[in-house]
Amino acid sequence: MLRDPTITGKISVKNVITILNILHFWRSIFTKHQIGSKNKIYCYNLRNLLYESDKGISVSNKVLETLLIRYSDNSTYLTLESFIQSLVKLHLSHERYKSLERKGKHNSITLEEMILSTL
């Protein structure tokens, strides 16, 4: 659903509602944890937000650290945009890993390695 299998950069009409619902859900989770009206969250809340956001995502310390280095501003805060970017990356990594498993290809890479390589 977030992937672009045709590599055209276009969103099909049937996926627009689904994508908007996902974004709205992620935004509602973010606003529950944001600091006042700053539209930011503390980085140490990221693990909890990931768990709430998409069917209970749990990540290793290494993946969490990589996300914070990549998407936080000075390792203190995350904005809504950076939070959504990190979720999209995680979501796409999971999708790619599952598609390789479904195809039955010998998968010598772990899920954590797949996530780290896409971040």
The structure's pTM equals: 0.77
SS3 for 50-81 is HHHHCCCCCCCHHHHHHHHHHHCECCCEEEHH
How far, in Å, CA of 64 to CA of 47, rounded?
Answer: 7
pLDDT at 119 over 70: no
Q: Does residue 1 surpass a pLDDT of 60? A: no
User: In this predicted structure, what is the pLDDT of residue 14?
Assistant: 79
Domain boundaries, the chain: 13-118
Place 107 in a pLDDT band, splitting at 50, 70 and 90. low
User: Are 88 and 55 contacting, i.e. CB atoms less than 8 angstroms apart?
Assistant: no
**Residue 42: CB partners within 8 Å, gap ≥ 6?**
35, 76, 77, 78
User: What's the pLDDT tens digit per position in 62-100?
Assistant: 888 888 888 887 768 888 898 888 888 888 887 777 777
What is the topology classification, in CATH, of domain 13-118? Recoverin; domain 1 (1.10.238)
